[in-house]
């Protein structure tokens, strides 16, 4: 299938969750054998309008991120490319409408990847142009409904993981508790630290994965609570390092205030971790553990502490094959099924 992805600014321009998600989707579709082209503002060096650093082809619509010129050129370029499906980033709304115009010229359905972290709300007019919205979680889907999207034009398809990589990575040394999140104001690691502080008299070790502007404050908080000798901050870590730590860990604790999709929690679950998820109104993390039997859903630091104690009696695992439903291949299959249905429906008109 020929897939055209429209994102005026990719993650090479602005590093946001939604843009990184769209990059991952483009790469995963390409690896599955689809012809994927990203129509964007040029971000690569040189004067070439086309760049192929990997299986994905980037096509420069303009050299500057000016919406007016980008929108003027995009429809004709999409029509000439003749994609089977157009997948678009939801903002700015003017670019989404231009993507819709190009999709109509190409007689292709328009799918909008709505991750939920857009810099601006999607306008009513923009909402009306999509054949289908895809969200990563029910939390984001509900927000889209509240913005006016029809329920029958929204679909939840989660982030995907590489189960082969999960199986292959060797576990790191054992640790009782691990958490992973950018160390910013939304991480809320103080909830975990307060819970751990309740267990000072017990033997435990904890690892914090992530870096960010609040790292110093969290390190100071661990010192103030007199648990810094048992909490190790390991920084950002690459994917294989993270998986090794997860496979050596017994419990993964999720406390972040916000989360459109709890990607690190998903990887940790696949690595066999027991999940302790603190419920937050702005986070979808609880959705991943609602129907599982190796999890604790909590609302207070004391409940985090109690759950860590209770989890000690549960077996340690390094792989959970039930998470194979989130493997890249399984999630791509869901996208393919959606795209094929939309293409078939478009063919009826």
CATH assignment at residue 23? 3.40.50.2000
Residues 17 and 126 in one domain: yes
Beta-carbon count within 10 A of 298 CB = 21
Residues 92 and 182 in one domain: no
Residues 9 and 144 in one domain: yes
pLDDT score recorded for residue 46: 84
Strand partners, 254: 277
Residue 86 CA to residue 43 CA, distance in Å, equals: 21
Phi, psi for 240 (deg, rounded to 5): -65, -35
pLDDT score recorded for residue 101: 97
Residues 87 and 142 in one domain: yes
Residues 136 and 220 in one domain: no
Number of domains comprising the chain: 2
pLDDT score recorded for residue 128: 86
pLDDT score recorded for residue 125: 73
Residues 237 and 301 in one domain: yes
Residue 13 CA to residue 58 CA, distance in Å, equals: 13
Residues 315 and 333 in one domain: no
248-295 residue pLDDT tens: 999 999 999 999 999 999 999 999 999 999 999 999 999 999 988 899
pLDDT score recorded for residue 119: 65
Walking along the chain (349 residues) 10 residues at a time, the average pLDDT comes out as 96 91 96 97 91 94 94 98 96 93 97 86 80 96 92 96 98 97 96 97 96 97 97 97 98 96 98 98 95 93 98 96 97 98 79
**DSSP letters for 25-93:** HHHHHHHTT-EEEEEEE--SSSS-SEE-SSSSEEEEEESS--HHHHHHHHHHHHHHH--SEEEE---SH
Residues 22 and 155 in one domain: yes
Residues 156 and 174 in one domain: no
Domain enclosing residue 232, as ranges: 163-324
Residue 347 CA to residue 349 CA, distance in Å, equals: 6
Residues 49 and 171 in one domain: no
Residues 149 and 190 in one domain: no
Which pair of structure tokens corresponds to residue 148?
């006016």
Q: Give the chain's length.
A: 349
Residues 173 and 131 in one domain: no
């Amino acid at each position: 299938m020929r897939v055209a992805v429209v994102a005026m600014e990719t993650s090479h321009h602005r590093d946001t969750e939604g843009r990184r998600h769209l990059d991952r989707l483009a790469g995963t579709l390409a690896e599955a054998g689809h012809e994927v082209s990203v129509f964007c503002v040029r971000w690569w060096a040189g004067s070439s309008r086309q760049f192929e650093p990997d299986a994905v082809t980037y096509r420069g619509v303009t050299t500057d991120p000016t919406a007016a010129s980008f929108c003027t050129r995009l429809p004709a370029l999409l029509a000439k490319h003749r994609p089977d499906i157009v997948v678009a980033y939801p903002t700015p709304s003017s670019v989404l409408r231009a993507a819709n115009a190009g999709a109509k010229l190409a007689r292709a359905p328009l799918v909008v990847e709505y991750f939920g972290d857009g810099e601006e709300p999607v306008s009513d007019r923009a909402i009306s142009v999509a054949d289908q919205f895809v969200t990563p979680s029910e939390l984001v889907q509900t927000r889209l409904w509240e913005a006016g999207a029809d329920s029958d034009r929204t679909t939840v398809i989660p982030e995907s993981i590489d189960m082969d990589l999960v199986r292959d990575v060797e576990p790191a040394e054992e640790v009782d508790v691990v958490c992973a999140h950018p160390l910013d104001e939304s991480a809320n690691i103080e909830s975990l630290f307060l819970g751990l502080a309740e267990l000072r008299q017990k033997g435990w070790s904890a690892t914090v994965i992530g870096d960010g502007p609040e790292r110093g404050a969290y390190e100071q908080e661990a010192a103030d609570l007199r648990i810094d000798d048992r909490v190790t901050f390991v920084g950002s870590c690459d994917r294989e390092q993270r998986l090794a730590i997860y496979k050596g860990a017994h419990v993964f604790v999720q406390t972040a205030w916000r989360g459109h999709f709890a990607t690190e929690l998903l990887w940790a679950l696949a690595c066999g971790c027991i999940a302790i998820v603190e419920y937050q109104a702005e986070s979808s993390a609880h959705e991943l553990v609602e129907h599982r039997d190796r999890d604790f859903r909590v609302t207070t630091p004391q409940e985090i502490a109690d759950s860590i104690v209770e989890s000690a009696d549960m077996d340690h695992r390094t792989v959970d094959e039930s998470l194979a439903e989130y493997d890249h291949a399984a999630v791509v299959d869901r996208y393919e099924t959606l795209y094929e249905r939309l293409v078939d429906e478009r063919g009826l008109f």
